[in-house]
Each structure stands twice: as structure tokens, then as C-alpha cells.
Chains A and B, each alone.
Chain A
């Protein structure tokens, strides 16, 4: 019933927007495997389907055709409840930080732990604080997002994605809203922390400056995976 040991195993995944004659396929017969602890970058022109692929893996959309096993859950035919459960084991990082403006950085990070009934408030705050230390902004833990710089906010978002010790990190252009330097710092931080925790990362990006963090770079075009090459980090 469960997939293999690989965190992500896609076989023949297809996806189309619209139905009937108006159906517009965006993914065709995609096979993709991400191994334990592997950092995979997904690149390609816009409209190539990479973001749709990311939302399918993140259980944010229902799989239409093919088989998709993520963290041991077969997503084809999974219920909404199972998908919500799965999302709790995935760390998401978006283009925008999407932090809650009325919470401090620490409280934002702790939100990722509040769904876990096994944690106490004290434990959540301590873990959130420690994770903010790890991303290098421990001293700003009690500031609201409005008082942080763009790079700092994205670091909080990284901390929020990692604090729940997820089985997988999905990131969508995390550097898009950042300048070159802070963008590079944030993804390297993400890579280092993920490596330390052994968490695989699937990262969609246009940004050629960050290709060097990948174990493997996968290119997509027109809904298909066109090329997979070993990244700079895998040498």
C-alpha cells in the first residue's frame, strides 16, 4: 500500500486544468523520484508545469492520473483528510513569506507546531526560538514581521518550514522577492539546515545563482521532464 523508501515517487503523473474539450494538460506522464536527504531543483520556463507539480506533491491539489507517493502516502485517491494530515509533515516555503502580521516571528514559527497535540506551549516557544537562532535571527524573535527586512522574513519562513521536523521541504522560488545576496544566504541556510536534519528538498526556481546548492537539477518544459543533471553539490 505504501510507496518505497523514497520520499517522493511519481509515476506517469498527468494533470489538466478544465474538463472535457476545454481540458488543458499541464503535466504529461511525469516520472520523478527524490531520494532521502536529496536536494532537487526544478527549473524551466514559466508555464512548464513545475509549480503545478509542486502543488500536487504538496497535496494541495488532487492527483488526476498516475501514481504519486509522497512520504509513504499514495496521493491518487487520497481523501482530503489524509492530504491535510500529509501537509503537516511537509514544510512549505513560498515566494512571499506569508507570515501572519499580528504574530511575532517566534509565534509565527510556533504556528507550525500548534497542530501537534504532543507539544506544550512552553516547548513550542522554545523550539521556535531555537530554530530562529539556527536561521540567525534569534535576536529578532519577538519582532513582528513588519519590523523585519525581506531577508529576515524569509528566514522566519524557513524556520517555520523546518521547525516541525518535516519529512520534506517544498519551496517555490524562495529567492524571488529577495536581492542576490540575501537570496543566496537564505537558500544556503535552508540547504545546510536540511542536510543537518536529513530532509529532502524540492525547490522550484528560475534563479540561476542558486543552482549550485542542488544535488540534482531537473528541467521541465511543456509539462514534461526534459533533462535531469547532477547539480554542483553532488560532485
Chain B
């Protein structure tokens, strides 16, 4: 009889003995009980993490690849979830960004604001004297009162009226620095001169084109003809679709009912090298309780918190993202589940051959993760394209950044992994004892 040698360490010395009992040949060294129970040495599994991950992965890929239509629908499902989450998160952050566009473009070190002001489009006023009082601190270089108001702007092209945000302050002081403001400082000194926000919505008229064609031109704001002398860059926000920057004096001419002594914000510039946090603390000690002291990021965060907490916007988009992930998970789960269900006999056979539940589980998880990657890549590409197209159509600042890309990938990954873990339960139904 031809005996095959299965254990290099214990070759049978004669043809009588069979390879599954090597220790009975007498030639084999006494084996420790665990491996002795499990049989010949070549069967003891050495730990090879790469191999134990790659082989199930390959099995999963071959199985996915075999059913093109099923694979395509799974990829489409993941892609759908991916695009939905990207768009929801994009809109969310774009809306928050645009909500705070005005405050974000106000560049000053420290701001004073009335504590009851919740959003910049409906400010509570506080005494102008607070700005002067702030000058008591040696590290304060300048303090500029800021007036905010809304007025109607008449479109110079077609006469339609629309509310515009007015920002009046001492443009000469150099405390608040809007992009594009610096070269206009002299022009804004003229009576009734204003600077228009070039990123305002198009309903205000193509001011940039008019300005380029005609030079400074007259436009009606409120009940007064003002002269548009230049452009700044701020961007529309929730509260206002367009912005107009003008000097304090011109603001008073335009908004006659506003008392000079009641201001909405005070922008403070510190001496170079001054510690913002320390200055903030000392200002808070110095000033009465009718103002709060905020750094610029805090001011933006204050406004943002209003939109996040006092409106359902944040919830709406979080909910939308979650729904996208749930739908994606259900699709992936369905695909994986039906893949297992239609291969139960084959899986049971593999189990009978000695494949463990966990090995097959790894194959299912691998399939889920393959779907995550294959769905994310086109989903990312499509979202990138949509960000451009939708951003252009809605004037929302939709930007794909690395952080969001990685974040969404992790979400999709988790979504698919969860679907895989749920589908794995179906593997228990593959019982090799029922195969006979």
C-alpha cells in the first residue's frame, strides 16, 4: 500500500502505519497534548494575519464579481448614500458658513456686543459710550462703533426692491478690514458714497458690471439716492442677501431714525503684541454688564450657535445624513444577505470542509468593505461634481475638504461594516449537518 507522508517531522518508518497517527510510529517525539490532539503538525495553524485577511477578501471579491447586476446595484446603493451624506453635510456647513459670512469678514481683534443679541440681523443696541470706555485700557489701540441696519435696495437695472444689510462704521479707522475695503477708504469719505458687496445675490443687479461700464453710479437705498463707488467682498448670509458698507456719517444720513448713541457692535483693535485673552478679561471687568466681550472667532461661533440651536437647520441636515446612511445600510445588508442566502449550501459545504464561521464571517465583512470602497469612490467623484454645479446655482459656498471626505468615508465604512455584521448572522443558517 502506498502511504503518503504527511508529517515531515514524523515519517512512518514502515509501510504498515498510517499518517494520521504519527506518534504511534515510535519515531515521532512525544507531542504536547494540544497539538497531539489536533493531529499532525502540518495542520496546526500558524498565525498569519495577512493571509487570514487576504484569502477571505479574495473569496468575497470573486463572489461579488460573479454577479454583475447585484454588484452594480450594491455599488449604486452605497454611492447613493455617499452622495446624500456629502450633499447634506455640504449644505449644512455651507449654510452655517454663509450665515456667518458677514461676521467672518469683519476683521478686528475684539468685539463688544449686547448680551441679548442672538444674530447679527436683529441686534440689540448698546450705548456708544462703551466703545470710548474701552479705550481706557492701554492695550486698546482703537475702538470703532458699528451700526447695522437693513434697508431696501432698488435694483439699478430693473427697479425691483430687496432688503440689503447696511454696515456703517468709521471706515478710516482701519479697525475693521473687509476684503477690498482698503482702496475705497478715500472714496467712501464723500457724501452718500457706499461700497457694494460683489458677492450679493444677482437680484440686486449686476453692480460690478455697471461699475465697470459707468464708473461710480447712483442707486436708491431706502429713500435716498446713494453713490456706489466700489466693491467689497462679504457674501450673502441667512439674514441678508446683500451687503452695503458705508461710513458712519453716511449711515446716519441714510438711517435718520437711528440715534447716534445706540450702536450694535463695537470693533476693537489691540496694540500689536497684546494678549487677546487678557485684554478680553480686563475689558469684561472694566465695562458694565450691558456688553459682552468676544474675540472674532467667538463672535462667529455665537452667530453660528444661533442658527444651529435656535433653528431646526442643524437637525434637518443631520437627519438627512442619517437617513442616507440607513438607506445605504439596508441596501448593502440586502445584497449581502441574499448573497449568503443563495449560497447557503456552498457555505455549509465550506464549513464541513473545516472553514470556521469566523472565516466566512470575514468573507462577508470583506464583501461589505469592498462595497464601501467601490461605492465611495464614484460617490465622492459625483459629489465633487455636484458641489461645483450646485454651488454655482445656489451661491452657497460648497467646498470639498479633506476632513469631510475622510469623515464621510469613515461613515460609509461603518455603515457597510454594520450591514456586514448584521448579514453575518445569516451564516449560522448554513449548518453542515443538514447537508446530508
Contacts and interface: CB of A to CB of B under 8 A. Distances in A.
A149 interface: no
Contact of A58 (B21, B343, B352): B352
Interface stretch (A88-96, A177-185, A225-233): A88-96
Interface centre among B17, B24, B346, B350 (most CB of A within 10 A): B346
B353 A87 contact: yes
A64 interface: no
B346 A101 contact: yes
A122 interface: no
Interface of B: 1-4, 6, 17-21, 23-24, 33, 36-39, 42-43, 45-46, 48, 51, 55, 62-63, 65-67, 343, 345-346, 348-356, 359, 432-433, 435-436
A114 B4 contact: no
Given A87-B354, A111-B353, A102 B65 contact: yes
10 contacts: A58-B432, A60-B352, A72-B21, A82-B38, A92-B352, A94-B436, A98-B349, A100-B343, A112-B353, A115-B45
Interface stretch (A1-9, A206-214, A215-223): A1-9
Contacts of A48: none
A1 B34 CA distance: 11
A61 B352 CA distance: 11
Contacts of A115: 45, 353-355, 359
A39 to B, nearest CB: 13
Contacts of A103: 62
A223 to B, nearest CB: 16
Q: Chain A: interface secondary structure?
A: loop
A88 B43 contact: yes
A165 B65 contact: no
A24 B51 CA distance: 44
Interface of A: 1-2, 5, 7, 36-37, 51, 54-55, 58, 60-61, 71-73, 82, 84-90, 92, 94-96, 98-103, 107, 111-112, 114-118, 160, 165, 167, 172, 196-198, 204
Given A87-B352, A103-B62, A72 B2 contact: no
A72 B20 contact: yes
Interface centre among B1, B21, B62, B359 (most CB of A within 10 A): B21
B243 to A, nearest CB: 61
Contacts of B350: 100, 111
Given A89-B39, A167-B19, A198-B2, A117 B45 contact: yes
Contacts of B39: 71-73, 85-86, 89, 167
A103 B55 CA distance: 14
Interface centre among B351, B352, B354 (most CB of A within 10 A): B354
A113 to B, nearest CB: 10
Contacts of B38: 73, 82, 85
A73 B34 CA distance: 11
